[in-house]
């Protein structure tokens, strides 16, 4: 069976977490911390914070100086269109919309531009399921 998610999580290691929080009780913080512990390079993207995990936060994807493989989105669906446009401009490979984030129009736009799309799934849960890490 072809496991696209396992392939994505194995191949790509730089993840921009859009909408990450610096509050330790928020899902985006918990997921970001998990990804860091499991060997991924995290790039925090949130205009309302300066840093998280000792990493500089950027106001948007286009402000990130590094290449980005996966754009992990923790924003409401109405904000996803703009984030997908930035992901395309940035040359990202994957747009990942977290649990509860569903935007079919943005997903189609990303796919039409050649990006892989994972929607309405938690990257941490999917990683734990495939690799057994906690």
Per-residue pLDDT of the chain (134 residues; tens, 9 = 90+): 469 999 999 999 999 999 999 999 999 999 999 999 999 999 999 999 999 999 999 999 999 999 999 999 999 999 999 999 999 999 999 999 999 999 999 999 999 999 999 999 999 999 999 998 65
pLDDT (0 to 100) of residue 104? 97
What is the model's pLDDT at position 132?
Answer: 83
Question: In terms of DSSP H, where are the helices of 48-103?
Answer: 80-90
CATH of domain 4-128: 3.40.50.720
Q: Is the pTM of this model over 0.75?
A: yes
| pLDDT given at position 134 | 58
Residue 1 has a pLDDT of: 46
Annotate 77-101 with b (16+ C-beta within 10 A) or e (fewer): beebeebbbbbbebebbbbbbbeeb
Q: Break the chain into its structural domains and give their ranges.
A: 4-128
């Amino acid at each position: 069976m072809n496991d696209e998610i396992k392939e994505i999580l194995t191949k790509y290691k730089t993840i921009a977490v859009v909408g990450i929080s610096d509050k330790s009780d928020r899902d985006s913080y918990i997921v970001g911390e998990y990804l860091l512990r499991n060997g991924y390079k995290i790039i925090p993207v949130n205009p309302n914070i300066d840093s998280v995990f000792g990493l500089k936060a950027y106001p948007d994807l286009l402000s990130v100086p590094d290449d980005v493989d996966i754009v992990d989105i923790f924003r409401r669906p109405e904000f996803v269109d703009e984030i997908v446009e930035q992901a395309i401009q940035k040359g990202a490979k994957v747009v990942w919309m977290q649990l509860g984030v569903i935007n079919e129009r943005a997903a189609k736009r990303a796919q039409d531009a050649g990006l892989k799309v994972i929607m309405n799934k938690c990257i941490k849960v999917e990683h734990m399921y495939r690799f057994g890490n906690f």
